[in-house]
Amino acid sequence: MEFKLVHNRKKRIVQPDTKLEVRIECYYNRKRQYTGTGVFIESKFWTNNYVSSRHPQYKVIDALLQNKLNEYKNQALDYERTGKIFDFNALNTLLGGKSKQLFSDFIKEELKKKKNLSLGSAAKYLRNAEIVAQALPGLLVSEITPMHIEKLDRYFRSQFSVSTIHLLRFFTQNFVKKAVKQRILQHNPYDEVELEKFKYKGKLIHLTLAEIKRLEDLEDLPYLVGVVRDRFVYSCYTGLRVSDNLALLKTNLTDSPDGYVVDLRTIKGYGHDLIHPIGMMFDGKPDAIARRWMTAHDEKTLFPKVSTASIGNALKVLRSMAKINKHLTFHVARHTCASLLADISQNPYLIKNILGHSDIKTSMLYIHASPESTKKQLRLLDGKWENAR
């Protein structure tokens, strides 16, 4: 059996910006069968069965696709070493091992793979799996559709508080993504539904400039703690999510007369482009951090690689050393960037562009009407009144 990557099963004319799934074409005895990879890219970035180098993250995506392709080839080779022929029946057996498994059982099996899971967390996650089983009894993991997702969400909303609904949504989406990654599902059904959004009514925790400066002024830090400090402060000035912060490559940065410009394809969801002229942001402070690490190590990422567990521990140390009475997370850093931009500019569109919000309403959460903010806006209009019509 032969395997190759194709961008779309059916050859048809599509728009260059249309995202289509990259599939693995399995060819045997003049017949073809296709399986999904869970990777979607625009048509304009696909050329002759590979990801074009014009894609901002083509190296990462290409490596992922090649690994998936090699996985098929190696499994076929291992099967044929037993003296059997790897045909479509063998392929379907290989892919369909979990297709008849209940979604709730699939969740439980995946939970068993998690290492170092505390008893409390394990009990909570198993309870979540039982909630899914109650809402969707008898549903096979291979049969999940957008209709099932909507039904599941209606059940959540009828039984639980807003905060619990958010946690259950995140929990369920995580295991649906795992099913897609394992090719049990060809497409993510969450991509085809629009779930009801709940307005956040709590207080958005963020740092002040004085608190950020206390972090910046810390000296003689252990190497790992210093890496996390600079990663965190960089996100305070750019609003990067932790996933994008960890994936930021040196090749994403281009030097210009105004300093580095970061061109990054975000990871969350399908992702979209973020353009950060960091030399012009917050008096060039994120630019200074980037320049410090650009030549400080030989890794491809801008910052040295750090595990998520190490990040959490280091942030606790930094919080204590800087005497900050707030829980530090990269989401707090993201809120910090948005809050500072709101205070300085009162411009929700600037917040939207920098943080990559998909909805301007999210950016508006950071804009607060006050006499001081009104004065700031009026000062920006000094000297422009006479040009008004």
pLDDT at position 215 is: 97
Q: Helices 146-159 and 119-135: crossing angle, nearest 10°?
A: 110
Q: What is the Cα Rg of the chain in Å?
A: 24
Phi, psi for 176 (deg, rounded to 5):
-65, -40
Give 117's strand partners.
none
Higher pLDDT, 173 or 39: 173
pLDDT at position 203 is: 66
Q: Where is average pLDDT lowest: 7-11, 83-87, 117-121, 368-372?
A: 7-11
What is the distance between the alpha carbons of residues 37 and 343, in angstroms, rounded to a whole number?
43
pLDDT at position 44 is: 82
- Please, which pLDDT band fits residue 11 given cuts at 50, 70 and 90? very low
Residue % of the chain over a pLDDT of 90 = 33
- For 261, the 3-state DSSP assignment is strand
For residues 321 and 266, the answer to whether their CB atoms sit within 8 Å is no
Phi, psi for 48 (deg, rounded to 5):
50, 50
pLDDT (average), residues 157-168: 82
Phi, psi for 336 (deg, rounded to 5):
-60, -45
Vertex 199, ends 198 and 203: CA angle to 5°? 130
| Token representation of residue 377 | 């806006």
Cβ-based neighbour number of residue 260 at 10 Å: 22
Higher pLDDT, 70 or 230: 230
pLDDT at position 369 is: 57
- Asked whether the predicted pLDDT for residue 53 surpasses 90, the reply is no
pLDDT at position 268 is: 63
What is the distance between the alpha carbons of residues 221 and 210, in angstroms, rounded to a whole number?
19
- Asked whether the predicted pLDDT for residue 132 surpasses 70, the reply is yes
pLDDT, tens digit, 9 for 90 and up, residues 241-283: 888 898 899 999 999 999 999 998 887 644 568 899 999 999 9
Phi, psi for 120 (deg, rounded to 5):
-65, -45
Of 336, 368, 364, the C-alpha closest to 352 is 364
Of 162, 171, 190, the C-alpha closest to 127 is 171
pLDDT at position 9 is: 44
Residues sharing a CB contact under 8 Å with residue 71, sequence separation 6 or more, in sequence order: none
- Please, which pLDDT band fits residue 302 given cuts at 50, 70 and 90? very high
- Asked whether the predicted pLDDT for residue 100 surpasses 70, the reply is no
What is the distance between the alpha carbons of residues 92 and 142, in angstroms, rounded to a whole number?
13
Mean pLDDT of all residues belonging to the chain: 84
| Token representation of residue 297 | 């190590």
pLDDT at position 315 is: 95
- Asked whether the predicted pLDDT for residue 365 surpasses 80, the reply is yes
For residues 304 and 227, the answer to whether their CB atoms sit within 8 Å is yes
Largest distance between two CA atoms of the chain:
87
Q: Any idea of the CA torsion for 176, 177, 179, 181, to the nearest 10 degrees?
A: 170
**Which domains are seen in the chain, by residue range?**
2-95 (no CATH), 103-192 (1.10.150), 209-371 (1.10.443.10)
pLDDT (average), residues 172-195: 85
Place of tokens 């910052």: 303
For residues 358 and 266, the answer to whether their CB atoms sit within 8 Å is no
| Token representation of residue 361 | 């309403």
What is the distance between the alpha carbons of residues 204 and 365, in angstroms, rounded to a whole number?
9
**Host H or E run for residue 263:** strand 261-265
pLDDT (average), residues 36-42: 76
pLDDT, tens digit, 9 for 90 and up, residues 200-216: 555 678 999 999 999 99
For residues 72 and 28, the answer to whether their CB atoms sit within 8 Å is no
What is the distance between the alpha carbons of residues 208 and 235, in angstroms, rounded to a whole number?
14
Residue % of the chain over a pLDDT of 70 = 87
Higher pLDDT, 146 or 370: 146
- Asked whether the predicted pLDDT for residue 303 surpasses 60, the reply is yes
What is the distance between the alpha carbons of residues 119 and 130, in angstroms, rounded to a whole number?
16
pLDDT at position 10 is: 46
Of 129, 8, 3, the C-alpha closest to 67 is 3
pLDDT (average), residues 133-149: 87
